[in-house]
Structure 1
């Protein structure tokens, strides 16, 4: 039996990149996984198929985040598929980066970054808490940039994740009495589609990204997924309110 057999998990942004890696790992560990997607239903169904092919159980649910009533709508779709199974693990992974730096970002884009990266996890956790069984897990995917100003052009993104870090610490106090742990995992540069435009196919950019890590390579989704899986397991029952550096030593 897997470490998460009998558990039900929801992974937001679970159709691609780090989220897909997390969804697949939790599925391999025995969890029934709700793979959330914003717009790419095909990618979500592909993730579900991969989990099922490995002997796991999963289903896809779609809901764009950063919109009015997004949390309520997502949980309604979750309830329709999960039924009375409830929830054991919530992974707030979905996030977007800002396309413009400090000098040119406008209010609309700034507000959207915070709506997706900060507001959505807050209300997903608020509404999810009533579904989350005692002893459950909430894991927020943050970034190393919330602790190290390495990429000033991503100031709005880093700010939104810094707020998520604060939320993590406070929520651990709010839900601790129920044995629910709340932690944040902070990746560094990871080889995903979101980084493809500047990272893949450019040997100099790849080498520079790899050099940031003390381990000398670019991160992979599995590197982050394995940390999340640990925090979701019984072995991590005494860890809560923490910001876990999963940057490969990039900010050591």
Structure 2
């Protein structure tokens, strides 16, 4: 059985990706930071479909904890699946803070940098010895790095843009091992990101919908299904791509 690690899978896109991946017969190690109950809901959803999932805590903003996390992953792989490697990594966990450029503090910049760029960079590096040849990595980027330029997202968009570039470099450097690396850039999607921003500011939704060709906000399953597909053989000749999944935003 193949195994995938999905970070930040206690809600939203990560939760959907974990469930969709498991439905393809892949075991899942999923991570959470503060939302343990949400992570257990993800595990329960996977198990209700006949799959296997294990939830582990991970603070993506604290790279010094990554070696201990790698050890925990190795233990789970051995105990649950009798393996010493895994096959796929989905770097999904993230955070968001909205602030205009002139109001952005260095502390806010550093916090987002640690979670959105440094975290995926060094987590991938730390887990690489356990990643099997011929596997796949999917990084969750954002339309904020490409097609969506809204005031207040300069740091978020810049870090996600860095992740797009990192995706290409990883695809190049890991190609000798047959490891494919792609990224998925969601458009406006109904998730808990930004402290449940869409629930707190529903007035922004009509404007986003009006600018989306397919006429609605994205839902987590719209993104999760694409992530799961990128891990499979049908897209086995695709690497180094940033795939926008936005319903045609700003067409």
Same fold per TM (> 0.5)?
yes
Change (3 A) 1:97 1:248: same
Match of 2:249 in 1: 250
Under a length normalisation based on structure 2, what TM-score does the superposition of the two structures give?
0.93
Contact 1:200–1:206 (Cα < 8 Å) also in 2: no
Change (3 A) 1:203 1:130: closer
Unmatched tracts of structure 1, length 5 or more: 1-5
Match of 1:107 in 2: 106
Match of 1:47 in 2: 42
Secondary structure at 1:152 match in 2:
coil
Alignment of 1:27-106 (within 5 A): 27-83=22-78, 84-106=83-105
Q: Work out the CA distance in 2 between the residues paired with 1:73 and 1:218.
A: 38
Contact 1:8–1:85 (Cα < 8 Å) also in 2: no
Deviation at 1:149, TM superposition (A): 4.6
Q: Deviations over 1:48-78 (max 9, x none)?
A: 0111011110000002111141322321221
Contact 1:144–1:251 (Cα < 8 Å) also in 2: no
Secondary structure at 2:153 match in 1:
helix
Match of 1:17 in 2: 12
Q: Work out the CA distance in 2 between the residues paired with 1:186 and 1:174.
A: 22
Match of 2:180 in 1: 181
Change (3 A) 1:162 1:35: same
Deviation at 1:25, TM superposition (A): 0.4
Match of 1:240 in 2: 239
Secondary structure at 1:45 match in 2:
helix
Deviation at 1:198, TM superposition (A): 4.2
Contact 2:3–2:87 (Cα < 8 Å) also in 1: yes
Match of 2:227 in 1: 228
Secondary structure at 2:101 match in 1:
coil
2:21 to 6, 26, 29: 26
Judge which range, 88-97 or 196-205, deviates more. 196-205
Contact 2:60–2:120 (Cα < 8 Å) also in 1: no
Contact 1:168–1:241 (Cα < 8 Å) also in 2: yes
Unmatched tracts of structure 2, length 5 or more: none
Deviation >6 Å, runs of 4+? none
Deviation at 1:85, TM superposition (A): 4.0
Deviation at 1:206, TM superposition (A): 2.4
Change (3 A) 1:202 1:107: closer
Match of 1:7 in 2: 2
Match of 2:150 in 1: 151
Judge which range, 236-245 or 208-217, deviates more. 208-217
Paired positions, count: 247
Change (3 A) 1:217 1:196: farther
Match of 2:215 in 1: 216
Contact 1:98–1:110 (Cα < 8 Å) also in 2: no
Under a length normalisation based on structure 1, what TM-score does the superposition of the two structures give?
0.93
Secondary structure at 2:59 match in 1:
coil
Deviation at 1:152, TM superposition (A): 2.3
- Alpha carbon RMSD of aligned pairs, Å? 1.6
Judge which range, 141-150 or 108-117, deviates more. 141-150
